[in-house]
Amino acid sequence: MSRWTDQMYDHKLDPVAGPPPQHRLEYVAPIAEGQEYTRGSVVSANNDGALVKGCPAGTSGNRPMPMFAIQGSKDLDTYSDQYNFGAGMNLGSAFPATGGYEIATTEYVKTDANGDAVVYNVNDLLTADADGKLVKAGADAYGALKPICGVVSIATNSTARENAIGKRTFSNYGKPLLTFWTIFLPCASA
């Protein structure tokens, strides 16, 4: 497993508002074998409780909770080996979608199939694709086959540095950010 393929600021997850660090809700668990994801990606727990990339629909009576990765699976504070900080700990942590946060992340779908910038408006519902990236849920969001895990709080697209009301939509390092409120709405059917 290679590490440090990019800079720490390439993938961000910043709590903009919500509980202070000592009181916030976090899920800490081993990262499932073979799973790779970046900080800010949507993750969920598998049946063993280990973190996996994305958030499947689940089955009747078992709907995985979407969460937002605080660290990437290859970050130093999650991955370690016998020559590093501790032998094979491989623990990750994530903010559950029910945590009452406003979060800014770099991990969202920025262009559509035609290569055009995707515009996110305030109150757009968000779900996750198979890679753990946030994406607009679409017109049929209430009957969606994927859980809803957020609502856009700052209108943005991946090319504008600030939106129409002057809110910043890029990080200090020039990375586009999507800011949203966390929410969990299980899918209607699976």
Output phi, psi for 143, to 5 deg: -105, 20
Q: Say if CB 93 and CB 13 are below 8 A apart.
A: no
Query: For residue 42, what pLDDT is reported?
Result: 92
pLDDT tens-digit series, residues 36-56: 898 889 999 999 999 999 888
Structure confidence at residue 126 (pLDDT): 92
At residue 160, the pLDDT reads 60
Q: What residues does 29 pair with on adjacent strands? A: 92
SS3 of 58-99: CECCECCCCEEECCCCCCCCCCCCCCCCCCCCCEEEEEECCC
The contacts found for 79-87 with CB under 8 angstroms, 24 or more apart, are 79/1, 79/3, 79/31
pLDDT digits (tens, 9 = 90+) for 61-116: 778 899 999 888 877 666 555 454 544 568 888 999 987 888 888 889 988 889 99
- Which pairs from 1-9 meet CB under 8 Å and 24+ separation? 1/36, 1/74, 1/79, 2/74, 3/74, 3/75, 3/76, 3/79, 4/74, 5/74, 7/173, 8/39, 8/75, 9/171, 9/172, 9/173, 9/175
Does position 120 have pLDDT exceeding 60, yes or no? Answer: yes
**pTM attached to this predicted model:** 0.79
Residue type for position 154: I
